[in-house]
Amino acid sequence: MHYLDNAATTKVDLQVADHIRKVMEQSFANPSSLYKPGLDSELILRQSRAKVASAMGCTPAEVYFTGCGTESNNIAILGAVEARKEWADHIICTGYEHPSVQQPIEKLQQQGWKVTLVTPNEQGVIQPEQLADLVTSKTALVTAMQVNNETGAILDVQKLSKLVKEKNARTFVHVDGVQGWLRLPIKLSATQIDSYAVSGHKIHAPKGIGALYLKKNSNIIPPFLGGGQEKGIRPGTENLPYIAGLAMAAEMMQKNMPQRKKQIAHCNELLRSQLENMDGIVLNSPQDAAPEVLNFSVMGIRSETMLHFLEQKEVYVSSGSACSKGAASHTLAAMGLPSQRIDSALRVSFSKDSTQEDVQALLEGLAEGMASLARVK
């Protein structure tokens, strides 16, 4: 099989799966329990937090485990705004966010918050200045994704946080780092980013585990109430096996970064250079996008038609983001692309498991599909 949909999810690493099973079997005691097995679980929790902190470039005290990227985004956004409602009335956001950011923002707008959306240019790019220039004395939150899940477009979030704080030191800067973490190097403690959301299943850990970086002394009022786990930011008994799995996956991704980057860049260049020479294909990812994602349109052939044609060859790509389930791409629409280009878009996304053979199989499938599939006018 040629799995090229790693932005939707990655395959769990076997070593990670083994480790999770071991923690599940051997360390089932609640980390809050005061007896020895509980203390042993607590030690695993502490060690895991330190590993994730190392992969985020922050202190362990700034890492909070959550259920997924969606939950991390919701906690940060709703929590930051709640803590600033006495003096603020304004939120700034990009027009191409994942639904786990877009929908909380829409809800806040319905509640009376003024929302300014910044759309990308036709190449899919937003400059940090475009967001920061809009900050006023009443801006509670600026939220933006580091790497776009549909095109791979990169936003310089370090620069964004600096520019925002220069305009208003009280404005909270949240970054959705789900597609950026461990792909682009970042040392969060050296930035002015207040919070950064990540997800396990994008880095070869299972679905259902995430984390949130929250800068020391940054003020949020979290939406959930419960026991005091994760210092009350995300209460609920910790999912220790998955937390340990996330930590192991993060450590492995950190270690294999140079080698992996080389391999993924090679796959991307191979695909990009071939696509550029194929009539009827238009690239939708910017030239300097993260190499993990490449989005293009096969003009005249609907995304779903080509996707299912490729599926017969065991080549798996996406017609947009996995969350949109075949709906027209939110990001490509925000870029202002014509509907013929949006309706025929495919997203290919690479991981450490991707090979040159996967790219060749995709290219052969595309050429065959383009020669045999009926075109829409």
Binding site for ligand PLP (CB under 6 A): 68-70, 73, 98, 100, 145, 149, 176, 178-179, 199, 201, 210, 322-323
- Using the minimum distance from each CB to ligand PLP, give the nearer residue, 176 or 292: 176
Could you tell me the two tokens for 270? 């191979």
**CA–CA separation, 332 and 354 (whole Å):** 25
Q: Which residue is nearest to ligand PLP (CB)?
A: 69
What is 190-232 written as a DSSP string?
A: GS--SEEEEEGGGTTSPSS-EEEEE-TT-----S--SSSGGGG
| Residue 294 DSSP class | E
CB atoms within 10 A of CB 300: 15
Residue of 180, 198, 101 lying closest to 142 (CA atoms): 101
**Residue 143 bridge partners (DSSP):** 93, 174
- Using the minimum distance from each CB to ligand PLP, give the nearer residue, 67 or 128: 67
CB atoms within 10 A of CB 150: 27
Q: CA neighbours within 13 Å on the CB side: how many for 354?
A: 33
Residue of 190, 147, 352, 350 lying closest to 255 (CA atoms): 352
We find the least distance from the C-beta atom of residue 224 to ligand PLP, in angstroms, to be 16
Residue of 12, 2, 69, 64 lying closest to 323 (CA atoms): 69
**Catalytic residue status for 93:** no
We find the least distance from the C-beta atom of residue 229 to ligand PLP, in angstroms, to be 19
We find the least distance from the C-beta atom of residue 210 to ligand PLP, in angstroms, to be 5
Q: Which of 58, 68, 267, 323 is catalytic?
A: 323
- Using the minimum distance from each CB to ligand PLP, give the nearer residue, 250 or 301: 250
We find the least distance from the C-beta atom of residue 158 to ligand PLP, in angstroms, to be 18
- What are residue 118's phi and psi, to 5 degrees? -110, 120
We find the least distance from the C-beta atom of residue 8 to ligand PLP, in angstroms, to be 7
Catalytic residues: 323
